[in-house]
């Protein structure tokens, strides 16, 4: 049983791979001063980069949990999400309203994906 961890700090690993399954830690936006659409897009850009680094892609996502500061942003967040997820490859997904680690953050996502064979 092999477990690979990358980008490790005292609190977490950004990527963990076990049995060809990729686990990403929660990802947030690049700039928390932006609106929900821009925060969602830059967050998903980070997910893309980590999935590629781990030998996966958005077409190989198994599940995603989206944490949103306020459900008032749900529709706008989903506009970006829906354009980002390739048609026919939507993961199992949950979206919950949650208090964020920093008040300016509007959205966070945690992703599990399969590695590409």
Tokens 């309203």 belong to: 97
For the segment 53-106, what is each residue's pLDDT rounded down to a tens digit?
Answer: 999 999 999 999 999 999 999 999 999 999 999 999 999 999 999 999 999 999
pLDDT at 1 over 80: no
Buried/exposed 33-47: b ≥16 CB within 10 Å, e otherwise: eeebebbbbbbbebb
Domain 3-114 has CATH 3.40.50.720: no
Structure tokens at 88: 């026919």
């Amino acid at each position: 049983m092999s477990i690979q961890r990358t980008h490790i700090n005292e609190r977490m690993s950004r990527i963990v791979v076990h049995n060809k399954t990729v686990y990403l830690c929660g990802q947030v936006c690049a700039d928390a001063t932006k609106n929900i659409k821009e925060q969602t897009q830059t967050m998903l850009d980070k997910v893309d980069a980590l999935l590629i680094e781990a030998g996966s892609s958005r077409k190989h996502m198994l599940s995603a949990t989206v944490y949103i500061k306020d459900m008032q942003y749900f529709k706008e967040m989903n506009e970006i999400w829906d354009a980002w997820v390739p048609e026919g490859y939507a993961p199992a997904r949950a979206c919950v309203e949650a208090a964020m680690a920093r008040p300016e953050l509007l959205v966070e996502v945690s992703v599990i994906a399969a590695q590409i064979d």
